[in-house]
Amino acid sequence: MFANRTVTVFATATDPAKGTLSYTWTPCCGAVVQPPGNTATVTFIAPAASSATPCPMPLTLDVTSQKSGLSTSKTVDLVVTALGDINQDGVVNGADLTLLAAQFGSTGCCSSPGNNTCSADVDNDCDVDGMDQALLIAAMNTVGCTCSAP
Ligand SMILES: [Ca+2]
Ligand SMILES: [Ca+2]
Ligand SMILES: [Ca+2]
């Protein structure tokens, strides 16, 4: 997943007592959950990553049965990738530029809301144009990671 993009995560849980389950999501690193709620699906905005190295963003889910009181907790490490790292290999380089060139001129990347289908749409404005190319070139060869768990 890319920095500052909207991400949707689904959970599947079953309650042996067949009661209602409540869900508590806890993302790290300033990610914003929207809407806050106790549902099995959560949407949040990935935090900014200022460099090209993919960094983990733990997302913790606590599920509690309102009937039996049984609860469980699970944490998954989502990875935040910096803008420009189109192939998400941890570095912004010529390989990403090649991918951008292949998608250059694309429009209508957002045929459904919140779902951008152009991986090379660096600025997330639903097209792949010179602005995306400029952002990628500005990010070339960056390494390092500033997104860390608290
Ligand atoms: Ca890359
Ligand atoms: Ca764009
Ligand atoms: Ca544009």
* Domain presence at residue 150: no
pLDDT, tens digit, 9 for 90 and up, residues 51-104: 545 566 677 888 888 888 888 888 877 766 677 888 877 778 899 999 999 999
Question: Distance, CA 84 to ligand 1 centroid (Å)?
Answer: 7
- Asked if residue 35 has a cis previous peptide bond (ω within 30° of 0), the answer is yes
As beta bridge partners, residue 74 has 61
For 3, other C-beta atoms within 10 Å of its C-beta total 21
Please report, for the domain that includes residue 96, its CATH number: 1.10.1330.10
pLDDT at 47 over 60: yes
pLDDT, tens digit, 9 for 90 and up, residues 117-148: 998 998 889 999 999 999 999 888 765 444 44
- Claim to verify: residue 13 and residue 72 sit in the same structural domain: yes
Cβ-contact 89, 82 below 8 angstroms: no
Ligand sitting nearest the alpha carbon of 92 = 1
* Domain presence at residue 34: yes
Question: Distance, CA 116 to ligand 1 centroid (Å)?
Answer: 18
pTM of the model as a whole: 0.56
What's the domain range around 9?
A: 1-82
Question: Distance, CA 88 to ligand 3 centroid (Å)?
Answer: 21
CA–CA gap between residue 43 and residue 120 (Å, rounded): 22
- Claim to verify: residue 91 and residue 73 sit in the same structural domain: no
Match 């001129």 to its residue by tokens. Answer: 105
- Claim to verify: residue 71 and residue 1 sit in the same structural domain: yes
User: What's the confidence (pLDDT) of residue 134?
Assistant: 94
Cβ-contact 2, 80 below 8 angstroms: yes
Question: Distance, CA 49 to ligand 2 centroid (Å)?
Answer: 18
- Claim to verify: residue 64 and residue 126 sit in the same structural domain: no
